[in-house]
Amino acid sequence: MIEFTRGDSFFFKFFRRYPNGEKIMTKSEKMWFTVKDNYNSKKKLIQKTLDDGITFTDDGYYHVAIKPLDSKSLKYKKYVYDVQVENAGLVNTIKKDKVRITEEATDEGGEE
């Protein structure tokens, strides 16, 4: 589970693996990180894409950047997310889990 405070900047990283467990060192053609209320919801609450919130580095890691305004209006609760990739026309969901938005005491900053 991912957990971060509402209205804060938050960063995390991950890498992809081949079925044999070896790290994949090449950049995906496309990638999406999407947060929703539940998996059946059509409304995307947060979405990051490759080169627009998701960056790839030479060490094989993808870095996801959540900005303060991405979560500022969300309720304190658990949501769902997934990470989907597309390569050579094939789309695969590589990660599904929950994200918990926690309370903040200071409601300042994050104005863009």
Specify if 45 maps to a domain.
Answer: yes
Looking at residue 112, its pLDDT comes to 54
Which CATH number belongs to the domain containing residue 77 in this structure? 2.60.40.10
Number of domains in the chain: 1
16 contacts 24 by C-beta, under 8 angstroms: yes
Looking at residue 98, its pLDDT comes to 98
Angle at 77 between CA 75 and CA 40, to 5 degrees: 95
Specify if 19 maps to a domain.
Answer: yes
Specify if 97 maps to a domain.
Answer: yes
Domain that holds residue 56: 2-102
31 contacts 85 by C-beta, under 8 angstroms: yes
Per residue in 61-91, pLDDT (tens digit) is 999 999 999 999 999 999 999 999 999 999 9
Specify if 21 maps to a domain.
Answer: yes
Specify if 110 maps to a domain.
Answer: no
pTM over 0.85: yes
